[in-house]
Amino acid sequence: MDHEFWHARWAENRIGFHQQAVHPLLIKYWPHLTPSSDERVIIPLCGKSLDIDWLCARHQQVVGVELSDIAVNAFFSEQMLIPTMTQLSPRHRIYSLDELTIHQTDFFMFRNDAPFELAYDRAGLIALAPEQRQRYVDHLMSMLVAGGRLLLINIVPKVGCEPQREGPPFFISDEDIVQLFSEHDCQCLETFVTDDEDRFDERVWLIQKKEQ
Protein backbone atom coordinates (compact mmCIF):
# COMPACT_ATOMS: atom_id res chain seq x y z
CA MET A 1 0.00 0.00 0.00
CA ASP A 2 1.21 3.51 -0.81
CA HIS A 3 1.03 5.03 2.66
CA GLU A 4 1.98 8.55 1.66
CA PHE A 5 -0.62 8.66 -1.12
CA TRP A 6 -3.49 7.70 1.18
CA HIS A 7 -2.32 9.87 4.05
CA ALA A 8 -2.25 12.80 1.62
CA ARG A 9 -5.73 12.03 0.29
CA TRP A 10 -7.19 12.13 3.78
CA ALA A 11 -5.16 15.18 4.82
CA GLU A 12 -6.39 17.08 1.74
CA ASN A 13 -9.94 15.75 2.16
CA ARG A 14 -9.86 14.24 -1.34
CA ILE A 15 -12.14 11.39 -0.40
CA GLY A 16 -14.64 11.12 -3.21
CA PHE A 17 -14.98 7.43 -2.39
CA HIS A 18 -16.64 8.29 0.94
CA GLN A 19 -20.44 8.14 0.89
CA GLN A 20 -22.73 10.29 3.02
CA ALA A 21 -25.15 7.42 3.67
CA VAL A 22 -25.13 3.70 4.29
CA HIS A 23 -24.58 1.92 0.98
CA PRO A 24 -27.96 0.68 -0.30
CA LEU A 25 -26.40 -2.47 -1.76
CA LEU A 26 -25.08 -3.39 1.69
CA ILE A 27 -28.60 -3.05 3.11
CA LYS A 28 -30.08 -5.07 0.25
CA TYR A 29 -27.56 -7.89 0.04
CA TRP A 30 -26.13 -8.38 3.52
CA PRO A 31 -29.03 -10.77 4.30
CA HIS A 32 -27.79 -13.00 1.44
CA LEU A 33 -24.87 -13.93 3.70
CA THR A 34 -27.40 -15.38 6.20
CA PRO A 35 -25.61 -13.53 8.98
CA SER A 36 -26.25 -14.01 12.67
CA SER A 37 -25.56 -11.38 15.31
CA ASP A 38 -22.85 -13.42 17.03
CA GLU A 39 -20.79 -13.80 13.84
CA ARG A 40 -17.71 -11.56 13.75
CA VAL A 41 -17.33 -9.08 10.88
CA ILE A 42 -14.13 -7.62 9.40
CA ILE A 43 -14.11 -4.48 7.23
CA PRO A 44 -10.72 -3.92 5.57
CA LEU A 45 -9.73 -0.38 4.54
CA CYS A 46 -12.86 0.86 6.28
CA GLY A 47 -12.23 4.63 6.19
CA LYS A 48 -14.94 6.49 8.09
CA SER A 49 -17.77 4.70 6.31
CA LEU A 50 -21.27 4.87 7.75
CA ASP A 51 -21.53 1.20 6.79
CA ILE A 52 -19.50 0.52 9.94
CA ASP A 53 -22.24 1.86 12.17
CA TRP A 54 -24.91 -0.07 10.24
CA LEU A 55 -23.05 -3.33 10.75
CA CYS A 56 -22.42 -2.58 14.42
CA ALA A 57 -26.18 -2.32 14.95
CA ARG A 58 -26.51 -5.92 13.73
CA HIS A 59 -23.44 -7.70 15.05
CA GLN A 60 -21.83 -8.13 18.43
CA GLN A 61 -18.27 -7.78 17.10
CA VAL A 62 -17.21 -5.63 14.16
CA VAL A 63 -13.54 -5.01 13.36
CA GLY A 64 -12.36 -2.33 10.96
CA VAL A 65 -8.84 -1.84 9.65
CA GLU A 66 -7.79 1.57 8.37
CA LEU A 67 -4.41 3.12 7.59
CA SER A 68 -5.34 6.77 8.15
CA ASP A 69 -5.57 8.19 11.67
CA ILE A 70 -7.54 11.10 10.20
CA ALA A 71 -10.20 8.69 8.93
CA VAL A 72 -10.45 6.82 12.23
CA ASN A 73 -10.67 9.96 14.34
CA ALA A 74 -13.20 11.47 11.94
CA PHE A 75 -15.44 8.41 12.21
CA PHE A 76 -15.66 8.58 15.98
CA SER A 77 -15.95 12.37 16.01
CA GLU A 78 -18.74 12.45 13.44
CA GLN A 79 -20.59 9.71 15.28
CA MET A 80 -20.05 11.65 18.54
CA LEU A 81 -18.37 8.64 20.14
CA ILE A 82 -15.38 8.48 22.47
CA PRO A 83 -13.45 5.21 22.11
CA THR A 84 -10.68 3.76 24.22
CA MET A 85 -7.33 3.97 22.42
CA THR A 86 -4.46 1.52 22.91
CA GLN A 87 -1.07 2.10 21.31
CA LEU A 88 0.41 -1.26 20.29
CA SER A 89 3.31 0.21 18.32
CA PRO A 90 4.21 3.46 16.56
CA ARG A 91 2.25 2.21 13.54
CA HIS A 92 -0.61 0.39 15.22
CA ARG A 93 -3.34 1.89 17.39
CA ILE A 94 -6.52 0.15 18.50
CA TYR A 95 -9.74 2.11 19.05
CA SER A 96 -12.47 0.23 20.91
CA LEU A 97 -16.03 1.03 21.90
CA ASP A 98 -18.72 -1.52 22.67
CA GLU A 99 -19.03 -3.93 19.71
CA LEU A 100 -16.64 -1.96 17.48
CA THR A 101 -12.86 -2.17 17.23
CA ILE A 102 -10.88 -0.25 14.62
CA HIS A 103 -7.21 -1.03 14.07
CA GLN A 104 -5.37 1.98 12.70
CA THR A 105 -2.59 0.25 10.80
CA ASP A 106 -1.55 -1.14 7.42
CA PHE A 107 -3.98 -3.92 6.50
CA PHE A 108 -1.14 -6.10 5.27
CA MET A 109 0.44 -5.89 8.73
CA PHE A 110 -2.80 -6.69 10.53
CA ARG A 111 -3.09 -10.04 12.27
CA ASN A 112 -5.96 -11.28 14.38
CA ASP A 113 -6.08 -14.15 16.85
CA ALA A 114 -9.72 -15.11 16.28
CA PRO A 115 -11.07 -15.77 12.76
CA PHE A 116 -14.04 -13.99 11.26
CA GLU A 117 -17.21 -15.46 9.82
CA LEU A 118 -18.12 -12.43 7.72
CA ALA A 119 -16.35 -9.72 5.72
CA TYR A 120 -17.45 -6.61 3.86
CA ASP A 121 -15.51 -4.80 1.14
CA ARG A 122 -16.91 -1.80 -0.70
CA ALA A 123 -13.82 0.26 -1.50
CA GLY A 124 -10.90 -1.87 -0.37
CA LEU A 125 -9.92 -4.06 -3.30
CA ILE A 126 -10.52 -1.34 -5.89
CA ALA A 127 -8.23 1.02 -3.96
CA LEU A 128 -5.21 -1.19 -4.57
CA ALA A 129 -2.97 -1.34 -7.61
CA PRO A 130 -3.25 -4.54 -9.69
CA GLU A 131 0.02 -5.97 -8.37
CA GLN A 132 -1.32 -5.82 -4.80
CA ARG A 133 -4.69 -7.47 -5.41
CA GLN A 134 -3.85 -11.13 -4.97
CA ARG A 135 -1.91 -10.46 -1.80
CA TYR A 136 -4.86 -8.51 -0.43
CA VAL A 137 -7.38 -11.22 -1.33
CA ASP A 138 -5.23 -14.00 0.13
CA HIS A 139 -4.65 -12.05 3.35
CA LEU A 140 -8.33 -11.23 3.79
CA MET A 141 -9.57 -14.74 3.04
CA SER A 142 -6.97 -16.24 5.39
CA MET A 143 -8.77 -14.47 8.25
CA LEU A 144 -12.12 -16.11 7.50
CA VAL A 145 -13.28 -19.45 8.85
CA ALA A 146 -14.05 -22.22 6.37
CA GLY A 147 -17.45 -21.33 4.99
CA GLY A 148 -16.92 -17.65 5.84
CA ARG A 149 -18.67 -15.16 3.57
CA LEU A 150 -17.53 -11.93 1.96
CA LEU A 151 -19.85 -9.33 0.45
CA LEU A 152 -17.81 -7.52 -2.20
CA ILE A 153 -19.01 -4.44 -4.09
CA ASN A 154 -16.92 -3.87 -7.20
CA ILE A 155 -17.12 -1.04 -9.71
CA VAL A 156 -17.00 -1.55 -13.47
CA PRO A 157 -16.97 0.91 -16.38
CA LYS A 158 -20.32 1.44 -18.03
CA VAL A 159 -20.89 -0.59 -21.18
CA GLY A 160 -19.08 1.08 -24.06
CA CYS A 161 -17.05 3.35 -21.79
CA GLU A 162 -13.36 2.95 -21.15
CA PRO A 163 -11.80 4.46 -18.02
CA GLN A 164 -9.90 7.68 -18.75
CA ARG A 165 -7.43 7.22 -15.91
CA GLU A 166 -5.63 4.40 -14.16
CA GLY A 167 -7.04 5.02 -10.67
CA PRO A 168 -7.64 4.68 -7.86
CA PRO A 169 -10.25 3.41 -8.00
CA PHE A 170 -8.86 0.64 -10.16
CA PHE A 171 -11.42 -1.13 -12.31
CA ILE A 172 -11.48 -4.91 -11.96
CA SER A 173 -13.17 -7.12 -14.54
CA ASP A 174 -15.45 -10.03 -13.71
CA GLU A 175 -12.81 -12.39 -15.04
CA ASP A 176 -10.23 -10.91 -12.69
CA ILE A 177 -12.59 -11.24 -9.72
CA VAL A 178 -13.13 -14.92 -10.48
CA GLN A 179 -9.38 -15.43 -10.89
CA LEU A 180 -8.50 -13.59 -7.68
CA PHE A 181 -10.96 -15.71 -5.71
CA SER A 182 -10.37 -18.90 -7.72
CA GLU A 183 -9.88 -20.99 -4.57
CA HIS A 184 -13.34 -20.01 -3.30
CA ASP A 185 -16.97 -19.97 -4.44
CA CYS A 186 -17.92 -16.78 -6.29
CA GLN A 187 -21.42 -15.64 -7.17
CA CYS A 188 -22.37 -12.36 -8.84
CA LEU A 189 -25.62 -11.21 -7.23
CA GLU A 190 -26.41 -8.04 -9.18
CA THR A 191 -25.13 -5.37 -11.49
CA PHE A 192 -26.47 -2.05 -10.27
CA VAL A 193 -26.69 0.46 -13.13
CA THR A 194 -26.06 3.98 -11.87
CA ASP A 195 -27.77 7.07 -13.27
CA ASP A 196 -24.54 8.95 -13.89
CA GLU A 197 -23.55 8.29 -17.51
CA ASP A 198 -19.99 9.48 -16.96
CA ARG A 199 -19.17 7.20 -14.06
CA PHE A 200 -19.49 3.48 -13.45
CA ASP A 201 -21.81 0.69 -12.48
CA GLU A 202 -21.56 -1.41 -9.34
CA ARG A 203 -21.43 -5.18 -9.20
CA VAL A 204 -22.21 -7.16 -6.06
CA TRP A 205 -20.42 -10.43 -5.33
CA LEU A 206 -20.89 -13.09 -2.69
CA ILE A 207 -17.65 -14.95 -2.02
CA GLN A 208 -17.63 -18.01 0.23
CA LYS A 209 -14.45 -19.56 1.55
CA LYS A 210 -14.22 -23.22 0.63
CA GLU A 211 -13.57 -25.94 3.17
CA GLN A 212 -9.88 -26.76 3.17
For residue 169, being part of any structural domain is answered with yes
Side-chain half-sphere CA neighbours of 97 within 13 A: 18
The pLDDT, as a whole number, for residue 106 is 95
Three-class DSSP category at 85: strand
Judge residue 53's burial from the number of C-beta atoms within 10 Å of its C-beta, 0-12 exposed, 13-18 middle, 19 or more buried. Answer: middle
**Rounded average pLDDT over 171-188:** 95
Residue 20 lies in a domain: no
Q: Is the pLDDT of residue 195 over 80?
A: no
- DSSP summary character for residue 196: -
The answer to whether residue 21 sits within a structural domain is no
Instruction: Let me know if residue 146 belongs to a domain.
Output: yes
| Position 8 in a domain | yes
Q: How many domains does the chain have?
A: 1
CATH number for 7: 3.40.50.150
Kindly state whether residue 31 falls inside one of the protein's structural domains.
yes
Confidence at residue 10, expressed as pLDDT on a 0 to 100 scale: 57
Beta-ladder partners of 66: 104
Domain that holds residue 124: 3-12+27-208
Question: 66 φ, ψ to 5°?
Answer: -145, 135
Would you say the pTM of this structure is higher than 0.75?
yes
In a domain? residue 182: yes
Euclidean distance between CA atoms 75 and 4, whole angstroms: 20
Quick: pLDDT tens for 40-76.
999 999 999 999 999 999 999 999 999 999 999 999 9
pLDDT digits (tens, 9 = 90+) for 103-159: 999 999 999 888 999 999 998 999 999 999 999 999 999 999 999 999 999 988 887
> What pLDDT score was predicted for residue 18?
60
Residue 81 lies in a domain: yes
